[in-house]
Every structure is written in structure tokens, then in C-alpha cells.
Structure 1
Amino acid sequence: MPTLTRLIFIIAVIAGSIYAAMFALTVLVEPAPRQISVDVPPDLLKPQSERDKP
């Protein structure tokens, strides 16, 4: 049984390290705001009823 306990302990330490790294990323890293632009096709600006007409 000591090998099972050791395995569970190692897996818990690895999982804890991953969790700590994710937590540190959320707290310490601040994303830089930037502008984005999205091209919208002119068809989508028309009302739905006009788009359905041939």
C-alpha cells in the first residue's frame, strides 16, 4: 500500500502545482486592451424580410 499512497500523493502534488500555476496566471497577468475590427457583409445589415426576397 505505500506505493499507492505515494502515487496518490505525487498526483495530488502535480494537480496542485497546475492549479497554483493557473491561479497565478489569473492574478498576475493583465491582458493588454486593444481595438478589433470585424467586417460585416452588407447583406446582414438589411432586415430579415428584405434578405429573404429574391
Structure 2
Amino acid sequence: MPTLFRFLFFCAVIAGSIYGTMVALVTFVEPTEREVTIRIPSERVNPQQ
């Protein structure tokens, strides 16, 4: 039974570190906004029949 507790503790540590990393990313990383322009060829918008 001690190996089960050790395994569950190991899984909890991994899950906690992943959660902590996600919280740190949300807190410290600020996304930059920029204008995006996508050119669409006129053949795709107005297909010839």
C-alpha cells in the first residue's frame, strides 16, 4: 500500500507543478495585440462560372 500512496503523491506533485506553471503564465505573460491583414484572392471570393 505505501507504493500506491507514493504514486498518488507523485501524480499530485506533477499536477500541481503543471497548474502552477499555468497560473504563472496567465499572471506574468501579457499578449501583444497587433493588426492582422489577410489577403484573399478574388478568384476564391468571386468564382467564375
TM-score by length of 2: 0.77
Which runs of 4 or more aligned residues in structure 1 lie more than 2 Å from their structure 2 counterparts after TM superposition?
A: none
For 1:13 and 1:29, the matched residues in 2 are separated by 23
For 1:42 and 1:26, the matched residues in 2 are separated by 40
Residue in structure 1 matched with residue 22 of structure 2 by the alignment: 22
TM-score by length of 1: 0.72
Q: CA RMSD in A?
A: 1.5
| Structure 2: tracts of 5 or more residues without a match | none
| Structure 1: tracts of 5 or more residues without a match | none
